[in-house]
Amino acid sequence: MENIQLAALGVVLQVMKEGRNLNQVLDEAQSQSWMPAQRAALQDLSYGTLRYYGQLCALLELLLKKPLEEERVRCLLLVALYQLQYSKAAQYAVVNHAVRAVRTVNARFGGLVNAILRNFLRNQAALLVQAAHSKSGRYSYQAWWMDMLQAQYGEASLAILDAGNLHPPMSLRVNHRRITTEDYLAQLNLQGIPARIIAPAALQLEKPVAVNKLPGFSEGLVSVQDAGAQYAAQLLAIQEGMRVLDACAAPGGKTAHILECTQVELVAVDKDALRLERIAQNLQRLNLTAQLIHGDAADPQAWWDGLPFQRILADVPCSASGVVRRHPDIKWLRRKKDIASFAAQQLDILRALWPLLARQGKLLYVTCSVFQQENQQVIARFLELQADAQRLDIAIPEQLFPDDQHDGFFYALLEKKQF
């Protein structure tokens, strides 16, 4: 266990002190010789420590008599506190392995690590109450994040914060070109994988499983996609034969869903060449075809052929504040100034894409954010600037908050007027 603890402290340290992406650091940290169970354990410790980082820091501050300057030891203690509070590992094993692990980091802290972890176990209930006296200790977000949500949603913001700390559900999108949702559910049942239907093409698993355990995954029967993300294809109301643009398309889940629903001429654009390759791989697995273009949605004149699109999906870059339960590092890496920067970029993309839309065509604006500055305010400003744009009603709430079925998304459907 101490090897996993050591690896996890390294991951947490690189995310929090160097501002690196959690998944990239995890990929580098996992030894090729590790068993799947060890990789899963490292992911759990890294994700969990970052998910509850605010609370764990508050607990550690209560347990320390003076600030701990050795950052590697501090991160090891945070990882061990996460294990003691949230994992099913034996408490004595967590403490003993942490004491062994710290010898590799700085042997003189062995006694301190032992004392702090045992003190936590003796006074766990009282310490948790004390830690919750601060908002960061209670909700585990940066202060500006909590303040911004409070200003926008009032008391409802607390439920949004709590939902962002839950483990996300695993949802599947059934490929209706190949199989019905009911028939695929039957295949899952035969494999002993409990699931339920939550939307026409969406299934939610009772417990997450590896994709190689999903029947027919490699043959393209099903894909992993959040149920909230699956609304995009539905809201676009695409008809057969239309010319459709998926801007900012990577990793291609919505691209594939559109093609699974309707036979269209689809152009998928993304400025990240590596992520564009992921779209190609997904389409190949699903036996679907689209024109893939390496380009910037904010600069379509560099790649557009001049032919209008009847539908445009603008799934724009954003803070990803609606998907933090899948990416807990975002809670700590984002800065308040980033929100205004994203909003400006989003408006630029909208204005750049609008000339590509045919008259009476529809553009669907999508973010995975819960901040109004990136959502309602961007749309309101765009409508002020664009006289031939009108907003249409949609069949779902414009703002989806993370819950037991989906992540947080914002949807706005715009139509280009005839004149």
pLDDT number for residue 32: 67
pLDDT number for residue 295: 97
How far is Cα 139 from Cα 29, in angstroms, rounded to an integer? 28
CATH code for the domain in which residue 218 is found = 3.30.70.1170
- Residue that has been written with the tokens 């750049």 in this structure: 352
How far is Cα 26 from Cα 10, in angstroms, rounded to an integer? 9
Catalytic residue among 75, 248, 318, 368: 368
| C-beta of residue 224 within 8 angstroms of C-beta of residue 170 | yes
Residue 120: inside a domain: yes
CATH code for the domain in which residue 240 is found = 3.40.50.150
Residue 47: inside a domain: yes
pLDDT number for residue 323: 98
Contacts 24+ apart (CB under 8 A), 94-103: 94/1, 95/121, 97/1, 97/2, 97/5, 98/2, 98/5, 100/2, 101/2, 101/3, 101/5, 101/6, 101/9, 101/76, 102/73, 102/76
Residue 375: inside a domain: yes
Indicate whether 280 and 208 sit together in one domain: no
| C-beta of residue 174 within 8 angstroms of C-beta of residue 221 | yes
Indicate whether 321 and 191 sit together in one domain: no
Indicate whether 261 and 291 sit together in one domain: yes
Residue 144: inside a domain: no
As given in the structure block, the two tokens for residue 163 are 């939902």
pLDDT number for residue 29: 83
Indicate whether 251 and 366 sit together in one domain: yes
How far is Cα 415 from Cα 405, in angstroms, rounded to an integer? 29
| C-beta of residue 150 within 8 angstroms of C-beta of residue 159 | no
How far is Cα 105 from Cα 98, in angstroms, rounded to an integer? 11
Q: What are 248-273's pLDDT values in tens digits?
A: 999 999 999 999 999 999 999 999 99
Q: What are 65-113's pLDDT values in tens digits?
A: 998 989 999 999 999 999 999 999 999 999 999 999 999 999 999 999 9
Whether 368 is a known active-site residue: answer yes
As given in the structure block, the two tokens for residue 147 are 């303040």
High-pLDDT (> 70) share of the chain, %? 100
Residue 147: inside a domain: no
In the predicted model, what is the mean pLDDT of the chain?
A: 96
Q: What are 354-405's pLDDT values in tens digits?
A: 999 999 999 999 999 999 999 999 999 999 999 999 999 999 999 999 999 9
For residue 164, give the nearest of 53, 323, 57, 54 by alpha carbon.
323
Mean pLDDT of 319-334: 98
Number of domains in the chain: 3
With H, G, I as helix, E, B as strand and everything else as coil, classify residue 411.
strand
Torsion of CA 252, 255, 261, 264, to 10 degrees: -150
For residue 141, give the nearest of 336, 368, 413 by alpha carbon.
336
Indicate whether 257 and 327 sit together in one domain: yes
Q: What is the pTM of this model?
A: 0.94
Name every residue whose Cβ is closer than 8 Å to that of residue 299 and which is 6 or more positions away in sequence. 352
Is the pLDDT score of 34 beyond 90? no
pLDDT number for residue 418: 86
**Residue 133, CB-side half-sphere exposure with 13 Å CA sphere:** 9
- Residue that has been written with the tokens 């699109």 in this structure: 309
Query: What range defines the domain where residue 253 resides?
Result: 231-416
Indicate whether 208 and 283 sit together in one domain: no
Domain boundary, last residue among 224, 242, 267: 224
Count other Cβ atoms within 10 Å, centred on residue 122: 9
Residue 160: inside a domain: no
Q: Give, in degrees to the nearest 5, the angle at Cα 262 between 256 and 265.
A: 75
Indicate whether 211 and 326 sit together in one domain: no
Q: What are 167-212's pLDDT values in tens digits?
A: 999 999 999 999 999 999 999 999 999 999 999 999 999 999 999 9
Indicate whether 395 and 256 sit together in one domain: yes
Domain boundary, last residue among 116, 138, 160: 138
Q: Give, in degrees to the nearest 5, the angle at Cα 302 between 300 and 306.
A: 65
Indicate whether 244 and 393 sit together in one domain: yes
Torsion of CA 316, 319, 323, 329, to 10 degrees: 140
Indicate whether 238 and 211 sit together in one domain: no
Indicate whether 283 and 331 sit together in one domain: yes
Model confidence at 288, pLDDT cuts 50, 70, 90, reads: very high
Indicate whether 311 and 202 sit together in one domain: no
